[in-house]
């Protein structure tokens, strides 16, 4: 085979090989992380959380590995600008019920807490609550439950084709650890696509349809040509009210999360 023949043959191989029908890639990350993480979860405002706040992953390399058809193969649930792809809604299972075979098996010491929270220090868009309210054209609401929650410790407003507000509550004892965050996503901002959360369940917030997703699970953000993946290790309650979609991230249970969601009030 001369050089030209080999080149043509190689092109032909690549062309044919791209048509191979691979099985859908399973949730390997979920399985791996389940074996790396401790299985117990902490209590709100009393123990450390086991989730990092947010990471957004731009998957430039893996974009080339995903066949175009894969993007349209599964059903989704949509709340506001949030679209959740994955399996049928599944009742949540307590963390304690995870089989022992899913417990950490490595000898490598694993910290009880991910520690990417210091990235908060590098965020732009931080401002006071008053400045944030002056910046965005929708009312910023604050939870009045739990009563001792207080105002958020960090406030960020970011341009996501619409001013997205993120309120962050940190552990007063350990300011580099996040207890809870609340996102306000105005209409027209990026469509947020979550894929394959461990468990999702439909619920209501103030009689409005809502989604409860138990993590860890990845989230994809789409904006034009760029694809982002956000990864959150925690639970998320998503609901919409008018033009605003709300995302409450916490490691609390569903009932507590709904209480918080239904306690939102305008800034006094």
Partner 1 sequence: MFYARNPIPFNGVFHINDLSGEARLDESTLIRHAANGDAAAWEPLVLAHQEAVFRLAYLILGDPDDAADAAQEAFLRAWNHIQSFDPTRPLRPWLLSIVTNLARNRYRSAGRYLAALTRGFRNEPAPANIEEKSAQHLEASELWKAVQTLNMPDQQIVYLRYFLDLSVTETAEVLQVAEGTVKSRLSRALERLRGIIQQEFPVLAERREGHEGRDA
What is the footprint of partner 1 within residues 198-257 (CB under 8 A)? 216, 218, 223, 228-229, 231, 233
Stretch in the footprint of partner 1 (CB under 8 A) among 40-48, 53-61, 86-94, 129-137: 53-61
Least CB distance to partner 1 at residue 44 (A): 19
Binding mask 170-189 for partner 1 (x = CB under 8 A): -----------x--------
27: which DSSP letter? -
142-161 residues in contact with partner 1 (CB under 8 A) are 156, 158-160
Distance CA 142, CA 145 (A): 9
Kindly give the pairing relationship between strand 141-143 and strand 174-186. unpaired
Q: How far is the CB of 106 from partner 1 (least distance, A)?
A: 6
Closest CB to partner 1 among residues 46, 108? 108
- Least distance in angstroms from the C-beta of 25 to partner 1: 5
Give the containing element (helix H, strand E) for 13: helix 3-17
CA distances from 190 to 25, 75, 118, 162, 229 (A): 26, 19, 25, 8, 12
Say if CB 139 and CB 266 are below 8 A apart: yes
Q: Are the C-beta atoms of residues 186 and 243 closer than 8 Å to each other?
A: yes
52: tokens are 């990092």
Pairing assessment for the beta strands 191-195 and 82-85 based on DSSP bridges: parallel
Q: For residue 135, state whether it binds partner 1 (rule: CB under 8 A).
A: no
Q: Cβ distance 252 to 238 under 8 Å? A: no
Residue from 141, 166, 167, 244 binding partner 1 (CB under 8 A): 166
Based on the shown chain and the rule CB under 8 A, indicate whether residue 95 belongs to the binding site for partner 1.
no
Interface map 11-50 toward partner 1 (x if CB under 8 A): xxxx-xxxxxxxx-xx-xx-xxx-xxx-------------
Residues 6+ apart with CB under 8 A from 128: 155
CA–CA dist 59, 68 (Å, integer): 15
Q: Which helix (H) or strand (E) holds 177?
A: strand 174-186
69 binds partner 1 (CB under 8 A): no
The answer to whether 72 contacts partner 1 (rule: CB under 8 A) is no
Q: Using CB under 8 A, which residues numbered 101 to 130 contact partner 1?
A: 105-111, 114-116, 119-125
Binding test (CB under 8 A) with partner 1, winner from 54, 189, 203, 245: 54
**Shortest distance, CB of residue 30 to partner 1, whole angstroms?**
9
Q: Which residue in 46, 64, 88, 101 binds partner 1 (CB under 8 A)?
A: 64
Nearer to partner 1, 106 or 173 (CB): 106
Nearest to 80 by CA among 247, 256, 240: 240
Q: Which two tokens stand for residue 85?
A: 């792809």
Check whether the bond before 146 is cis (ω within 30° of 0).
Answer: yes
């Amino acid at each position: 085979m001369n050089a030209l023949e080999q080149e043509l043959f190689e092109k032909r191989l690549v062309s044919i090989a791209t048509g191979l029908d691979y099985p859908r890639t399973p949730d390997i990350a979920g399985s791996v992380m389940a074996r790396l993480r401790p299985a117990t979860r902490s209590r709100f405002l009393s123990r450390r959380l086991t989730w990092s706040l947010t990471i957004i992953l731009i998957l430039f390399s893996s974009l080339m590995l995903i066949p175009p058809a894969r993007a349209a193969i599964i059903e989704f649930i949509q709340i506001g600008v949030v679209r959740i792809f994955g399996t049928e809604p599944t009742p949540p299972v307590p963390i304690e019920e995870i089989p022992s075979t899913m417990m950490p098996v490595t000898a490598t010491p694993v910290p009880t807490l991910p520690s990417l929270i210091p990235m908060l220090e590098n965020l732009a868009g931080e401002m006071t609550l008053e400045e944030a309210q002056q910046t965005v054209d929708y009312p910023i609401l604050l939870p009045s439950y739990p009563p001792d929650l207080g105002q958020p410790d960090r406030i960020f407003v970011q341009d996501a084709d619409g001013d997205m507000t993120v309120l962050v509550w940190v552990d007063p004892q350990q300011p580099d650890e996040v207890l809870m965050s609340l996102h306000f996503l105005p209409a027209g901002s990026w469509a947020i696509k979550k894929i394959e959360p461990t468990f999702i369940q439909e619920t209501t917030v103030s009689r409005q349809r809502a989604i409860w997703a138990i993590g860890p699970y990845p989230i994809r953000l789409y904006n034009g040509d760029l694809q982002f993946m956000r990864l959150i290790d925690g639970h998320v309650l998503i609901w919409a009210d008018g033009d605003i979609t709300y995302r409450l991230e916490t490691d609390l249970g569903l009932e507590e999360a709904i209480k918080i969601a239904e306690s939102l009030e305008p800034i006094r």
